[in-house]
A and B are shown apart, each in its own frame.
Chain A
Amino acid sequence: MTDVLKPRDAKEVEDAVRWAIGHEKALELAGHGSKRAIGRPSQTDVTLDLSGLSGVTLYEPEELVLSAKAGTPLAEIEALLDKNNQILAFEPMDYGPLLGGGAGEGTIGGAIAVNLSGPRRIKAGAARDHFLGVAAVTGRGDSIKSGGRVVKNVTGYDLCKLMAGSWGTLAAMTDITIKVLPKAETEATVLVSGLDDAHAAQTMAAAMGSPFDVSAAAHLPDHVVSWFDGLPNAEAATLLRVDGFAPSVMHRKEALAALLKPFGPVAVLDAKDSQTLWRGVREVRPFAVGAARERPLWRISAPPRRGHEIANLITPAAQMFYDWAGGLIWVAMPVPDEPDAGSIRKAVAQVGGHASLIRAPASVRAAVDVFEPEAPGVAALSKRVKESFDPKSVLNPGRMWAGV
């Protein structure tokens, strides 16, 4: 009995899923397997390796659309887009280093399946906002399609939204169509030094409420700044990025710097330093290197203005930094096997939002809720949705919640 199936095309994916249904096997869906270690530990029999479905099938830069097979490496797509001065506007995170792998791994299917959205989310939207069309094999062995190759499309239910962020539990995507956007000519980052978390939240709110079109907003408390390259000093750094056409960036960075002066000492970083810095944010650098790799890592999504309150509600030994103007918080707990889920859940209940245990040993992830437990009504609905796609629990069973 093989424990890896590697289909060569969409038809073979369908065959594989049907086989699994027929023989009551549970499948683990994997592109490059770069995010294998996220979620509740695998309760599957066989791995469905989708990396064989690779290759860009359509790319029309002036139509802002690209289609590719789901197993196409993200790096390949990003390189192609870059050649044409375009980007994936949702600036996908890179969890590779975080999870003990290399940087630049992962497939486009994986990125969409986990709604992998980075700093630019606050301006340009999340991965799910750029996901236009899909062909996939459901847990019933049905090959379906939804959406299309055009942005304006309200024909039928938006199944793309359901599949994005579903962690491969609803369907095995075989073909993906996404919206792509122009790459900015240049960028700059305005930096305010020495702010505590609460003042940083206020500063970021002011920047986001300005007409200067901020494309990323993050706050690095002083206990994490040493991990980032390109910072002028060892104080806490609140970062606001502006990008676009050169003349525009030139004016806006100065205007933004002037606006933020009342909040603290301001510096402006040029394109090169800015890019380095934000790469570090995308890789969750402080918790992706050295001893920090052993620490349980939470990803908290909260109302941006209130994110900073989380710090006061959990152990002071936790380390953290903020993205999405305070709406995304990476929290590393001090003790390797102790995620301290109780305090995190309580904090999130008070502030609003949800928390996911992105990294922890498998034994911990088996014992603790990895994804935020949903309210009973929503949980029941999620279960029914799962069953509508995958009644036999063939696809990544239990990856998100027990019994789903």
Chain B
Amino acid sequence: MTLRMPDVDGEVLARRARIVSALRTIVPGEGVIDQAREMRAFESDGLTAYRQIPMVVVLPQTTQQVSQVLSFCYTEGIKVVPRGAGTSLSGGALPLADGVLLGMAKFNRIREIDFDNRVAVVEPGVTNLAVSEAVAHAGFYYAPDPSSQIACTIGGNVAENSGGVHCLKYGMTTNNVLGCEVVLMNGEVLRLGGKHLDAQGYDLLGVLIGSEGLLGVVTEVTVRILKKAEMQRAVLIGFSTSEDAGACVSAIIGAGIIPGGMEMMDKPAIHAVEEFVHAGYPLDVEALLIVEVDGPRAEVDYLIERVEAIAKTCNAVSCQVSTSEEQRLLFWAGRKAAFPAVGRISPDYFCTDGTIPRAKLPQVLAAMKKMSEKYGLRVANVFHAGDGNLHPLILYDANNPGELDKVEEFGSEILRLCVEVGGVLTGEHGVGVEKRDLMPVMFSEVDLDAQQRVKCAFDEKGLLNPGKVFPKLHRCAELGRMHISGGKLPFPDIPRF
């Protein structure tokens, strides 16, 4: 593993036995796992390229236990890495050799469903799909729908500000969470927000969401639930160039239409899925667009017609409109199977995640084709066309020595390009460890220091998930100082303007 992680604290490791027995008094029974052979199962999340056995695994069941564990670690100077379902694709739950791996999967109850206020109060270990399933009987659902929704947890969604196909129209996790209970690294339990619709003071909940487990451990979440649309229909459009596909997306948005979802796949991706799912995708197109329109019946039928018309003006070479729910699901079956389908034609794959201004897609795709030749690695692309979030899937074989290094380089090059064309390093998978060392491509030292200072406000000892997101660790005291000389700060006199 070529990844540098924070220095291991030998002093903490020396105390390991004592630490484990102290943790066992807080979380009894099977909640503390300390044998290497068993801890190995926790050594990585969905990014299997990076693995590290933790010092000890703790699986608490109550907020009280979480608070006590964190408080203990705070006092003893022990690092903590939180983990949900371990489906992160950026290594967010990668353990530390001298740290506690805090698994939150036992927090799996839905505490309250409040249809009057259209919220659900859930524990962080509840899966994303389970929330929607729990409110389905009343015709409601939880909108953010990452592809891993069957398994990923709400707590993880909060940490990563997860998106999904429908976030184009319905927003990401941060737009769909109203409150939470969070435990800070020193064990303090705080409540932020609730069932009301805006923050009381600073939007601390807003900065917590997407903080990748660095600012606090969430122990309860209040999410918004929405009424399901009356109807959903999809259009499957094929193009002979990605430029045409991009132009079609722009035209749809330009016409004032915000589809429920808009996804694009390139030729390699289309071929990979069609072989396994047989969704009926055209094999001779360079780009395939799936546009889903949802809403009240009257609106959907009207908009589908308009989308069809727009597609024709954009040189679509094929255009199919779903006429039944079965057909709509079939259109999607291929896209949803993209990752596993790719997994069947290659022993391993690396999924990257960058966002670009949509107009830059053809340029980025062309550049990636060249990179693919340079590295000798195949790549298939799946693209959230509506919001510019790109998922290049780099195919490789982990059993080939040296291949993983090439993959990492290829991935980095793609992400640098994303930033270069005006985009960002990560759209929804998070920075984690995967993109940590690329942060300086997007942010200056000053920018990163400002973010680090926020971290200091939440966790001044820097014990919560260090080594993720930020390439450099600073001591908070050092960051907090403002340099004073001669009793005065060295700033200019009154500005002349």
Contacts and interface: CB of A to CB of B under 8 A. Distances in A.
Contacts of A213: 295-296, 299
Interface stretch (A29-37, A135-143, A284-292): A135-143
A152 B171 contact: no
B206 A150 contact: no
Contact of B196 (A145, A302, A374): A302
Interface stretch (A69-77, A191-199, A244-252, A330-338): A244-252
Contact of A377 (B190, B199, B388, B497): B190
A210 B227 contact: yes
Interface of A: 2, 5-8, 12, 15-16, 18-19, 21-23, 60-65, 85, 115, 117, 121-122, 125-126, 128-129, 138, 140-146, 148-159, 161-162, 164-166, 170, 181-183, 185, 205, 208-213, 244-245, 247-248, 250-252, 255, 301-306, 324, 327-328, 352-354, 371-372, 374-375, 377-378, 381-382, 384-389, 391-392, 400-401
B190 A159 contact: no
Nearest to B215: A157
Interface residues of B, number: 106
A125 B175 contact: yes
Interface in B190-215: 190-192, 194-207, 209-211, 215
13 contacts: A22-B490, A63-B388, A141-B491, A145-B443, A149-B422, A150-B422, A157-B455, A158-B206, A185-B256, A248-B296, A353-B195, A371-B200, A378-B200
The 5 closest A-B pairs by CB, nearest first: A161-B206, A22-B491, A182-B256, A152-B427, A251-B298
B402 interface: no
B295 A182 contact: no
B423 A115 contact: no
Contacts of A378: 190-192, 200-201, 204
Contacts of B188: 377
Q: Which of A2, A157, A181, A248 has the most CB of B within 10 A?
A: A157
B329 interface: no
A387 B451 contact: no
Contact of A7 (B116, B196, B493, B495): B495
Given A22-B488, A154-B161, A6 B201 contact: no
Nearest to B209: A158
Nearest to B222: A303
Given A7-B497, A16-B495, A18-B492, A382 B431 contact: no
A66 to B, nearest CB: 13
Contacts of B426: 153-155
Nearest to A125: B175
Q: Which of A18, A155, A209, A305 has the most CB of B within 10 A?
A: A155
Contacts of B253: 61-64, 182
B430 interface: yes
Contacts of A12: 495, 497
Interface stretch (B16-24, B32-40, B344-352, B355-363): B355-363
Nearest to A61: B254
A161 to B, nearest CB: 3
Contacts of A60: 357, 359
B451 A159 contact: yes
A372 B200 contact: yes
Contacts of B184: 377, 381
Contacts of A125: 171, 175
A210 B428 CA distance: 30
Contacts of B435: 155
Nearest to A250: B298
Contacts of A382: 201-202, 204
A381 B204 contact: yes
B383 to A, nearest CB: 11
Nearest to B299: A248
Contact of A126 (B198, B256, B389): B198
A150 B423 contact: yes
Contacts of B303: 245
